[in-house]
Amino acid sequence: MKLKRIRIEQLRQFQHPLMVDNLQPGINVFTGPNESGKSTIASAIRAAFFERHRSSSVSDLQPWGDSSATPQVTLEFDWQDRHWRLEKRFLGRKRCDLEIAGVHYSGDDAEEQLADLLGFQHPARGASKAEHWGIPGLLWIEQGAGHELRPAVEHAADHLQSALGAGLGEVTSSGGDEIIQAVATQKAVFLTATGKPRGEFAKLPVQIAQQREELVGLETRIANYRQEVDRLSELRKQHAMDAREKPWQMLRQQQQAAEKALADVETLQQAQAVDQQALQSCQNTLILLREQLEAFQRQQQTLLQRQSAAQHAKQTLQALNEGNADINAEHQRAEKSYRQACHIAQQARQQEQAGRLLQELERLSRERVALDDRLEKAYRVQAELLEQRRALPCRRIDEPILDKLRKQHKQRDDLGIRLQSVATRLQYDILPDQAVELDGQALTMQGETLLLESGEMMIPGVGRLRIIPGGEDIGELSRRHRQLEEALKALFEQLEITSLAEAEQRMEVYQRLHIEIQANERLLSSLAPEGIDLLSQACESCKQQCETFSAQCRNSTVLAEEAPSLVDAEAQRTAAEQALKMAEKRQSDHQLALNGARRDAVNNDAELQRLQAELSAPDRQQRERELSQQLVEQRAEHASLEQRIANRQQRINAAQPVLLQQDVQRFARSAEQLEKAVHDRELALTELHSRLEAHSAEGLEEQRTECLLVCEQLERRYAEMQRRMAALSLLHTLLKEKRQALTQRLQAPLQRHLNHYLALLFPQASLSVDENLIPAQLTRTQTFGVEHGGLEALSFGAREQMGLISRLAYADLLREAGRPTLIILDDALVHSDAQRLEQMKRILFDAAERHQVLLFSCHPEDWCDLGVAPRDMQALKAAVNSPNLSITT
């Protein structure tokens, strides 16, 4: 399709007709500033095709403020070697005329021709919208819409599908998806989305398994039932045989024979038992008899023993009586010697006492002498002490006072010396008749006086001389001297002495006496530590004691003979006491033995007499003889019995009663066993029969048949379902596979064209296409590796570039399918950088080799290298204003 000429009149800013002529088959660039009318040309082309001429909703096509205008577009183009001329007027004088190679269509007919040609739809009413635009909507890119691809492709989908399908010589399925959906729905009855059985299809295997299990159970029971029926018939057969043959009767006869033999033996055994009892009683009698005879003999022996015992007792008694006197004498001797020993011991004690008194007396005497001596000494010392104490100065001078005295004395002496040395020395040598008085005292002769203070010298006739000592503070010295003098004097008075020497002497006397007193005091205290009075008392008491003891000594009887020592005497006394005690014991023992012997003698005599009486009883002999006779008889009886028992035992042993007993038991038990077996069998028969009756009433086989019936029906249904499911699965898989294959076949050419353009932009990149033929995934080889991404993730500029590439690819595809292609780019690629724009221009140039392209741009400098001269809108409009001028390039 080659657009040749566009004429626009009364349409938006083109109040006056605008004619665009000589359009090239390849690229055509229109440039101009904003609002110069580029987009109006694009809109006019759209309106000419899309809007119905009768539409009243296209008033936006009218120039501003001119509601009476009739927007008019005339297009002329070639398609398939035919010339098409379309003239469309809106609103005012609505009209549509289409002339195809001389054939004229008008109105709706014309519009349908156009829609078929380009592949779009007219709106049922109102203005045409994007969803009606079909293929032109895809190829005619509006301002700022270059990046939005998906809606445009979707709106063109049907046209693309049919156009491309036809191009490929294929027919896409008009209802394939519906069929797939229907198959999926039917399949979903059997399987869940994840392929698991569901609903009845899932339950059936379980039900079948249950039914099969029940069937097996029933079959087992039937098999049991049949076995039992067989057993019943077997039992009946046996029972009948038993009833006929009665095998237990034979055994019963054998049992009876054994019982008879056993009874015979038992008779013998009873007789044997009687004899054995007789033998036993015979033996007992014998024992009794022997015991009685033995008793008689024992009595005789006892008598003899008694007699000898009596004899013995008498002898003992006699012996004891004889020893009686000795024992008593011995006792008396012991008593006597004990008394003696006691007396001697008494004496020894007295002697001991006296000795001790004497010794004490001696000691006291010695003590008394010592005490007296000490007392005497003590009195002497005491007297001495008294003397000394008297001699001791009444006024004692202590050492410190003496020291003080000495010190003051010395000070006074020192002061005196100093006074003398410093005092105004008044040496005088008075003429004898002359009297000179000093302070009232007459100075005579030669002399020297020391003036310690001012003095007035009266020299008669002369007057008075006042001498005042100067120099050092003699006054002071003299004052102190006087003070000391006074203090000294006071001390002397106090001490009642007159001089220091006296004090010294007194001190010495005192000290000497003091030492002597101390010595004597110590002596005294050693002599009489508790004082003289006590000492004298002690002397007195000692003296009294001495007197007392000496009196005692004198009083104590002088013993005739010398007594032995107390220790020896005590020992002798103890020995005597011991001896006495032994003698006493012997005496009492003897008495006891004597009494015992006497009693024994009496008892023995009594017993002896009793025995003698018994033995000499008259019937005793008689009785003993009888017993002996009986003994002989019983022995004979015993022997005969033994013989008889032995004989009979032989017979019994020969008959073997134990074996006979066992035989009886054996036969009896065997018979019982058989009888019991028969009985049991009868019971079992009855029991089995009733059980079988019960079981047969259950109708097991009928149940089994019914169960099998259900089982088979379930299995058949399951098989049918499986079969249907298999068919559905197969169909579903196949439908999807084929659909996929077809989609891929359809996509292949588009893919090829896409990759052709893409290689110019991104070498080694590829763009995948989804099943709606929309480019979806871009794969690029970058420096760091392969990059995948959806188109939506790309930048605005890149998306616009991809959008253009895709549209060019669709255009190639449509062209191959023999469909008209016209590409209109209104202000495209404004977001591309210089480098990309270069590449995109190469792409556009390449596409323009096959398609007519109308490109509108406000950047003429960008598009000057496309090999065509851009048409300037201003120039076009200028041509409008001078309508005679035809615009050419």
Partner 1 sequence: MRLLHTADWQIGRQYGRFAPEDALALAEARFSAVERLARLATEQAVAAVLVAGDVFDAQTVSDRTVRRLFNAMQGFSGPWILIPGNHDAALAESVWHRAKRLGAIPTHVEVLLEPGVYAFPQSGIAVLAAPLTQRQTSADLTAWFDNAESPEGLLRLGLAHGSVQGQLADDIDSPNPIAAERAARARLDYLALGDWHGLKRIDERTWYSGTPEQERFKNNGAGQALIVDFEQSGQPPRVTAHQVGEFQWRQWQETLGVDSDIDRLIERLEALPAPAVLALNLAGDTDLAGHQRLIQALAEAEARHRSVQYDLSALRLQPTDADVAALDADGYLGDVIDELRAQQSLHDDEASRDALVLLAGLLRERLPQAASSAEESALGMGTLEREDNA
Q: Per this entry, what is the length of the chain?
A: 889
DSSP conformation class of 795? -
**Binding-site member from 742, 808, 823, 876 for partner 1 (CB under 8 A):** 742
| The two three-digit tokens of residue 292, written as one number | 């009685």
Give CA–CA dist 153/559, Å, rounded: 177
**Binding-site member from 41, 163, 183, 805 for partner 1 (CB under 8 A):** 183
Give CA–CA dist 232/226, Å, rounded: 10
Q: Which is nearer to partner 1, 321 or 733 (CB)?
A: 733
- Amino acid at residue number 299: Q
State in angstroms the smallest separation of the CB of 697 from partner 1: 6
* Other CB atoms within 10 A of residue 588 CB: 12
- Is 709 a binding residue for partner 1 by CB under 8 A? The answer is yes
150-168 and 796-816 helices cross at what angle (nearest 10)? 20
Q: Which is nearer to partner 1, 186 or 839 (CB)?
A: 186
Stretch in the footprint of partner 1 (CB under 8 A) among 176-184, 601-609, 762-770, 778-786: 176-184
Q: Which is nearer to partner 1, 2 or 236 (CB)?
A: 236
**Binding-site member from 60, 66, 108, 178 for partner 1 (CB under 8 A):** 178
- Is 712 a binding residue for partner 1 by CB under 8 A? The answer is yes
**Binding-site member from 716, 770, 771, 878 for partner 1 (CB under 8 A):** 716
State in angstroms the smallest separation of the CB of 691 from partner 1: 9
Q: Which is nearer to partner 1, 394 or 697 (CB)?
A: 697
Instruction: Tell me, by CB under 8 A, how many residues bind partner 1.
Output: 58
E strand or H helix at 468 = none
Per the CB < 8 A criterion, the answer to whether 390 and 411 are in contact is no
- Is 216 a binding residue for partner 1 by CB under 8 A? The answer is no
| The two three-digit tokens of residue 90, written as one number | 């809106």
- Cβ-based burial of 812 (10 A; exposed 0-12, middle 13-18, buried ≥19): buried
Q: Please tell me the number of Cα atoms within 13 Å of 360 on its side-chain side.
A: 17
State in angstroms the smallest separation of the CB of 192 from partner 1: 20
State in angstroms the smallest separation of the CB of 207 from partner 1: 14
**Binding-site member from 127, 293, 571, 692 for partner 1 (CB under 8 A):** 692
Token pair 């059985």 is found at: 197
**Binding-site member from 582, 658, 741, 748 for partner 1 (CB under 8 A):** 741
| The two three-digit tokens of residue 123, written as one number | 């709106």
State in angstroms the smallest separation of the CB of 180 from partner 1: 9
Give CA–CA dist 600/461, Å, rounded: 172
**Binding-site member from 719, 748, 869, 878 for partner 1 (CB under 8 A):** 719
- Is 726 a binding residue for partner 1 by CB under 8 A? The answer is yes
Stretch in the footprint of partner 1 (CB under 8 A) among 9-17, 66-74, 166-174, 832-840: 166-174
Window 759-798: residues binding partner 1 (CB under 8 A): none
Q: Which is nearer to partner 1, 236 or 598 (CB)?
A: 236
Going by C-alpha positions, the residue among 61, 70, 76, 90 that lies closest to residue 6 is: 76
* Other CB atoms within 10 A of residue 787 CB: 11
Beta bridge partners of 141: 825
Strands 455-459 and 463-467: antiparallel
**Binding-site member from 614, 720, 770, 787 for partner 1 (CB under 8 A):** 720
**Binding-site member from 130, 229, 354, 532 for partner 1 (CB under 8 A):** 229
Burial annotation 329-349 (CB, 10 A radius, 16+ → b, else e)? eebeebeebbeebeebbebbe
Q: Which is nearer to partner 1, 160 or 503 (CB)?
A: 160
- Is 195 a binding residue for partner 1 by CB under 8 A? The answer is no
- Is 432 a binding residue for partner 1 by CB under 8 A? The answer is no
**Binding-site member from 224, 498, 713, 795 for partner 1 (CB under 8 A):** 713
Window 289-308: residues binding partner 1 (CB under 8 A): none
Q: Which is nearer to partner 1, 406 or 738 (CB)?
A: 738
Per the CB < 8 A criterion, the answer to whether 348 and 568 are in contact is yes
Per the CB < 8 A criterion, the answer to whether 330 and 583 are in contact is yes
State in angstroms the smallest separation of the CB of 243 from partner 1: 16
**Binding-site member from 150, 151, 168, 225 for partner 1 (CB under 8 A):** 225
Beta bridge partners of 424: 451
State in angstroms the smallest separation of the CB of 237 from partner 1: 9
* Ramachandran class of 134: left when φ > 0, alpha when ψ lies in -120 to 50, beta otherwise: left
Q: Please tell me the number of Cα atoms within 13 Å of 472 on its side-chain side.
A: 12
Stretch in the footprint of partner 1 (CB under 8 A) among 4-12, 164-172, 343-351, 497-505: 164-172
State in angstroms the smallest separation of the CB of 222 from partner 1: 7
Give CA–CA dist 571/871, Å, rounded: 181
State in angstroms the smallest separation of the CB of 815 from partner 1: 23
Per the CB < 8 A criterion, the answer to whether 232 and 685 are in contact is yes
- Is 398 a binding residue for partner 1 by CB under 8 A? The answer is no
**In sequence order, what E strands does 355-476 have?**
424-429, 436-438, 441-443, 446-451, 455-459, 463-467
- Is 618 a binding residue for partner 1 by CB under 8 A? The answer is no
Q: Which is nearer to partner 1, 714 or 824 (CB)?
A: 714
**Binding-site member from 398, 473, 589, 702 for partner 1 (CB under 8 A):** 702
608: CB partners within 8 A, 6+ apart = 303, 306, 307, 310
**Binding-site member from 100, 127, 182, 293 for partner 1 (CB under 8 A):** 182
- Is 728 a binding residue for partner 1 by CB under 8 A? The answer is yes
E strand or H helix at 797 = helix 796-816
- Is 35 a binding residue for partner 1 by CB under 8 A? The answer is no
HEC assignment per residue over 471-520: CCCHHHHHHHHHHHHHHHHHHHHHHCCCCHHHHHHHHHHHHHHHHHHHHH
- Is 687 a binding residue for partner 1 by CB under 8 A? The answer is no
Stretch in the footprint of partner 1 (CB under 8 A) among 25-33, 177-185, 201-209, 871-879: 177-185
Per the CB < 8 A criterion, the answer to whether 445 and 432 are in contact is yes
- Is 701 a binding residue for partner 1 by CB under 8 A? The answer is yes
| The two three-digit tokens of residue 23, written as one number | 């359009």
Chain residues binding partner 1 by CB under 8 A are 170-176, 178-179, 182-183, 186, 222, 225, 228-230, 232-233, 236, 689, 692-693, 695-706, 708-709, 711-713, 716, 719-721, 723-724, 726-731, 734-735, 738-739, 741-742
